[in-house]
Amino acid sequence: MFRDIPIILILSILVFALGCENHYYDEHLKMEVQQLDSDLENRWSTSGVVVKAITQNGPADAAKLTPGELISYIIGEYPIQSPREFTRAVKKAMADDNNMLLYLKGKQPLRIAVRKIGDKVGLEVEGSGSVRIKEIVPGTPAANSDVIQVGDVVEKIVDERKIHSLNDYKKTVNEFSKLNANLTFRTTELIGVKIAAVTALGNLGDARAVESLIEILKNSKELALRKAASRSLERLVALSELNPLFQQFQQENANQLPADTLDSQQRESAEILGLLLTDPAANITTLEAPFGIQFRHRSEALYQKVNEGALVELAEQYIQITTEPEQEIRRACLSILGTLSPISAIEPLIKVLRDQNEIPGIRFQAGLALSQIGTPAVDALMTAFNESDTAAKDIAASALGTIGGTQARDFLINALETTDDPAVQLTLVDAIAKIGDEFALSALERQRQRFQEDDSAIRIFLDEVFSSLTTPFQ
Amino acid sequence: MKKIFLIFGLALFVIGCGNQNEYLAKGKELIKSDKRRKEERAVREFKLAIEQESDNAEAHYLLGFYDSQEFYEVDQSAWNQASIAQRGQHMFKAYQEDPGEYLEILIFDTLRDDDVNVQKAALEALTLVYQKGDRKQLLKQLQKAIKSKDNRDRHDAHWVMANIGTSDPTTMVPILIELLKHNQVGTRLNAIKALGEIGSEDAIPILAALIESGSAKRKRDREEPEVRQLAVLALGKIGGKAVPELVKITQNKGSSLRVDAIRALSTLGDEKAVQPLLDALKEKSSREVVVKLRN
């Protein structure tokens, strides 16, 4: 009992001494690593050490490690050339976590795990230069695997070590370097940081962010990050659309303007985005500090950048389900196209509208974007109506109703008078009612005559439409 | 509230019941009853009590406590008199008549009430104490409250200190900074929150040091994660000159507070944040790197 005390004392001093440091210069790799913040582990279930600085021309530099990378695993490979090496490698590999990867020539790598430290793996080997399995001990993990056979050539043993602390790092690198193992570092991306950065860049409304966000949306392998990028781009586009409004403030070089000198629609959008506040009684619109005030200086640059074309091109691609499987991103891209309303988007949008593999909500959103484009989209919408399934007819008719104008109106009236599909009739009535001019109303009146005797849904709907048109305030 | 009545009851007992203001007694009776609109009727009694005896501390306090604009038509004179500011004046008057009694009641009792307007009236009264009353005693009591074992007291004290500190940071900020050394986490948390709400740039270096303490060599020198996280939020509230500090945190790749700092920057809208954030996006993603050791 008592003789243990000095050992415990020494150990605790050792632990204390080691635990104190939170930087470490690794002489083997010629780089400085740093312990993660004490509380970082709990937050993103990450662990490891961070590369702090790298000495030029050292092994770490040659391997192209970069400062800031988080090393979470160190993987050592032991080439096996003798039975002694085999025994030692197995012992080492099993030491920490009771499992290892065994590479046999011509076979898939095999994970071998024992229940507790000291348990035998159950393999005997022979040979020198190249080592073969001599014996498989019955009742061991090796015997339980039906892959291993006597005579198999052992290529190497791979040991994966999870790195929790600076001590783990030191111990593992020292051990591996002594054993002449080949080292691989597996690094972890702190995805939370990037998502936060992407979101922040969307909020900051700065033109410089556009290219980076496009790049992430196109090339990142992290879905969560791509989603965040699409949301941020959507916001940047929404912000850029307010440029005329912010230019008014910029020209006056003021953070306050009379509310009635500003476009009311833009003012409301900006209010929803939290950029300004309007006091209707005093007729004063004030830019909100800090962002609204800061943004007026950046608005023009953002507007230019957003309208350079790259963003539209990207959105036109990524609204297609064949390109982008994630619906949230497709939705964001649809919203971008709706806001920017480029003529070039008509064709890809019609494709989405007609795509029967697409979910209805997104097809509908494509219709919405087309109605935002307005008159130039009328021809394409009419064609879509004539050629497509009921769902697409529905959306196209609704979009045409929103756009309005003589051409759309006459087309819808004609369609209503010639179709027999009750579902389509309902949509058409609704669309025509939205246009609501004299011609539209008389067309609807004609329909009411036509279905007078009827007790169908369309009659009831027509009655409703008329009662709401004649008593608009109820 | 029961506690208050108990205190009052005892106090009155000591003074002797003989000369108690009749209206005051009636008003208190009403409050205790379950009559309809009892507060509204009690307030009428308290007003009469003050008419009769303009220096009655308890009547002033109770009027400040129970009066409400809901009782009156908008823009009536009684409506104006029931404003938060006026109610605070009454509470302050009670304090003036009996400082020893009412300072403690205001801080440890009135602030606790569920009614936000009562809390605001108490804040108003305490602000008046700060301006016209015994400032030293007030600060002493507030510090006692923010050091209390009771979270509610700490929170109330932080709220009052933040509000007073916003109009007079030179007195309050050093007190709050001193409180960051207190051994109770809850006290430090509330002091930091108050510093953030005051928004004084004087607090920036201290907050920055506290955040940085997470990487200190010895564990006992490290501030608790939640306190450090709140310190980042406080820097975000201070804004302006705190931006470079926040940027520094986002650039410290070993820091657990990068996300918090980035979020704080995103609401500040400062242009200086853009480039560091773009740099963060360029950091390497997960990968495997083969290293050749030289022997």
In sequence order, what are the beta bridge partners of A79?
A156
Specify the pLDDT at position A120: 82
pLDDT at B98 over 60: yes
If asked whether residues B176 and B205 sit together in one domain, one would say no
User: Are B289 and A184 a contacting pair at CB < 8 A?
Assistant: yes
- Determine phi and psi for A30, rounding to 5 degrees: 55, 55
Whether the ω angle into residue A258 lies within 30 degrees of 0, i.e. cis, is no
Specify the pLDDT at position A448: 83
Specify the pLDDT at position A378: 96
**Are A38 and A69 in contact, with CB atoms under 8 Å apart?**
no
pLDDT at A40 over 70: no
How close B259 comes to chain A (CA, Å)? 5
* B217-225 average pLDDT score: 77
Reported as a pLDDT band with limits 50, 70 and 90, residue B252 is confident
Alpha helices in A152-222, H assignment, sequence order: 166-178, 191-204, 209-219
Is the residue at A466 inside a domain? Answer: no
If asked whether residues A178 and A255 sit together in one domain, one would say no
Is the residue at B75 inside a domain? Answer: yes
Higher pLDDT, B159 or A109: B159
How close A398 comes to chain B (CA, Å)? 39
pLDDT at A25 over 60: yes
If asked whether residues B244 and B259 sit together in one domain, one would say yes
**Are A238 and A272 in contact, with CB atoms under 8 Å apart?**
no
Closest A-chain CA to B256: A40
Whole-angstrom CA distances from A470 to A436, A466, A467, B213, B242 are: 11, 6, 5, 71, 60
Specify the pLDDT at position A10: 58
Reported as a pLDDT band with limits 50, 70 and 90, residue B294 is low
Specify the pLDDT at position B43: 95
Specify the pLDDT at position A95: 77
User: Are B275 and A208 a contacting pair at CB < 8 A?
Assistant: yes
How close B143 comes to chain A (CA, Å)? 30
If asked whether residues B26 and B93 sit together in one domain, one would say yes
Residue B77, domain extent: 21-114
> What is the overall mean pLDDT for chain A?
87
Closest A-chain CA to B251: A68
If asked whether residues A56 and A145 sit together in one domain, one would say yes
Higher pLDDT, A41 or B113: B113
How close A149 comes to chain B (CA, Å)? 31
User: Are A37 and B257 a contacting pair at CB < 8 A?
Assistant: yes
Is the residue at A452 inside a domain? Answer: no
pLDDT at B203 over 50: yes
Specify the pLDDT at position A196: 92
pLDDT at A189 over 80: no
Specify the pLDDT at position A473: 47
Kindly state the tokens that stand for B8.
């009052």
If asked whether residues B233 and B193 sit together in one domain, one would say no
Closest B-chain CA to A18: B217
Is the residue at A421 inside a domain? Answer: no
User: Are B259 and A193 a contacting pair at CB < 8 A?
Assistant: yes
Give the CATH number of the domain where residue B173 resides: 1.25.10
Is the residue at A314 inside a domain? Answer: no
User: Are A35 and B239 a contacting pair at CB < 8 A?
Assistant: no
Nearest to A404 by CA among A377, A385, A443: A377
* A182-195 average pLDDT score: 85
If asked whether residues B204 and B186 sit together in one domain, one would say no
Specify the pLDDT at position B18: 47
Higher pLDDT, A15 or A121: A121
Is the residue at A114 inside a domain? Answer: yes
Q: Between residues 221 and 260 of chain B, which touch chain A (CB distance below 8 Å)?
A: 222, 225, 228, 239, 250, 253-259
Is the residue at B127 inside a domain? Answer: no
Reported as a pLDDT band with limits 50, 70 and 90, residue B19 is low
Is the residue at A67 inside a domain? Answer: yes
pLDDT at A17 over 50: no
Please give the Cα distance from A388 to A356 (Å, whole number): 10
Is the residue at B14 inside a domain? Answer: no
Specify the pLDDT at position A313: 96
If asked whether residues A256 and A180 sit together in one domain, one would say no
How close B265 comes to chain A (CA, Å)? 7
A250-276: pLDDT as tens digits: 999 999 999 999 999 999 999 998 899
In chain B, which residues have their Cβ closer than 8 Å to the Cβ of A22? Answer: 215-217
How close B232 comes to chain A (CA, Å)? 15
In chain A, which residues have their Cβ closer than 8 Å to the Cβ of B273? Answer: 200, 204
* B94-119 average pLDDT score: 96
If asked whether residues A137 and A258 sit together in one domain, one would say no
Nearest to B208 by CA among B155, B246, B177: B246
Higher pLDDT, A116 or B275: B275
Specify the pLDDT at position A243: 96
Non-local (6+) Cβ contacts of B121 within 8 A are: B64, B65, B84, B87, B88, B91, B110
How close B152 comes to chain A (CA, Å)? 27
Residue at a domain's end among A170, A188, A206: A188
If asked whether residues A30 and A149 sit together in one domain, one would say yes
How close B169 comes to chain A (CA, Å)? 21
Residue A259, domain extent: 247-298
How close B187 comes to chain A (CA, Å)? 21
How many separate helices (H) and strands (E) can be counted in chain A? 22, 13
Nearest by CB to A204, from B222, B273, B291: name it: B273
A278-299: pLDDT as tens digits: 999 999 999 998 888 989 999 9
Percentages (nearest 5) of helix, strand, coil residues in chain A: 55, 15, 30
* Tally of domains within chain B: 3
> What is the overall mean pLDDT for chain B?
90
A40-54, A210-224, B151-165, B254-268: least confidently modelled range:
A40-54
Kindly state the tokens that stand for B51.
């008419």
If asked whether residues A80 and A183 sit together in one domain, one would say yes
If asked whether residues B156 and B95 sit together in one domain, one would say no
Is the residue at A467 inside a domain? Answer: no
Q: Between residues 169 and 188 of chain A, which touch chain B (CB distance below 8 Å)?
A: 176-177, 180, 182-188
A141-173: pLDDT as tens digits: 888 877 888 999 998 889 888 888 888 899 999
Q: What angle do CA A240, A344, A209 make, to 5 degrees?
A: 30
Higher pLDDT, B128 or B3: B128
In chain A, which residues have their Cβ closer than 8 Å to the Cβ of B294? Answer: 59
A194-250: pLDDT as tens digits: 999 999 999 999 999 999 999 999 998 888 899 999 999 999 999 999 999 999 999
User: Are A291 and B225 a contacting pair at CB < 8 A?
Assistant: no
B288: contact with A, CB 8 A cutoff: yes
User: Are A294 and B270 a contacting pair at CB < 8 A?
Assistant: yes
Q: Between residues 32 and 61 of chain A, which touch chain B (CB distance below 8 Å)?
A: 34-40, 42-43, 50, 52, 59-60
A61-108: pLDDT as tens digits: 998 888 888 898 899 888 888 998 888 888 888 877 777 889 999 888
Nearest to B225 by CA among B260, B175, B199: B260
Is the residue at B12 inside a domain? Answer: no
Is the residue at B78 inside a domain? Answer: yes
Alpha helices in A388-436, H assignment, sequence order: 390-403, 406-418, 422-435
Specify the pLDDT at position B16: 47
**Are B52 and B21 in contact, with CB atoms under 8 Å apart?**
yes
Residue at a domain's end among A188, A208, A239: A188
Reported as a pLDDT band with limits 50, 70 and 90, residue A6 is low
Closest A-chain CA to B292: A59
Residue at a domain's end among A141, A161, A188: A188
Q: What is the CA radius of gyration of chain B?
A: 25
Q: Between residues 73 and 92 of chain A, which touch chain B (CB distance below 8 Å)?
A: 75
Nearest by CB to A38, from B214, B277, B293: name it: B214
Higher pLDDT, B214 or A6: B214
Biggest CA pair distance of chain B:
99
Closest A-chain CA to B265: A200
In chain B, which residues have their Cβ closer than 8 Å to the Cβ of A184? Answer: 288-291
* A324-332 average pLDDT score: 95
Is the residue at B9 inside a domain? Answer: no
If asked whether residues A63 and A141 sit together in one domain, one would say yes
Burial of A366 (0-12, 13-18, 19+ CB in 10 A): buried
Best probe of the A interface among B218, B286, B294, B295, by most A CBs < 10 A, is B286
Nearest to A459 by CA among A422, A409, A418, A417: A422
Is the residue at A96 inside a domain? Answer: yes
**Are A458 and A425 in contact, with CB atoms under 8 Å apart?**
yes
DSSP A50: E
**Are B267 and B236 in contact, with CB atoms under 8 Å apart?**
yes
Give the CATH number of the domain where residue B83 resides: 1.25.40
Rounded to two decimals, the ipTM of the complex is 0.76
* Tally of domains within chain A: 2
User: Are B283 and A68 a contacting pair at CB < 8 A?
Assistant: yes
* B290-295 average pLDDT score: 73
A398-413: pLDDT as tens digits: 999 999 999 999 999 9
pLDDT at B202 over 90: yes
Reported as a pLDDT band with limits 50, 70 and 90, residue B82 is very high
A340-355: pLDDT as tens digits: 999 999 999 999 999 9
Closest B-chain CA to A229: B281
* B275-287 average pLDDT score: 87
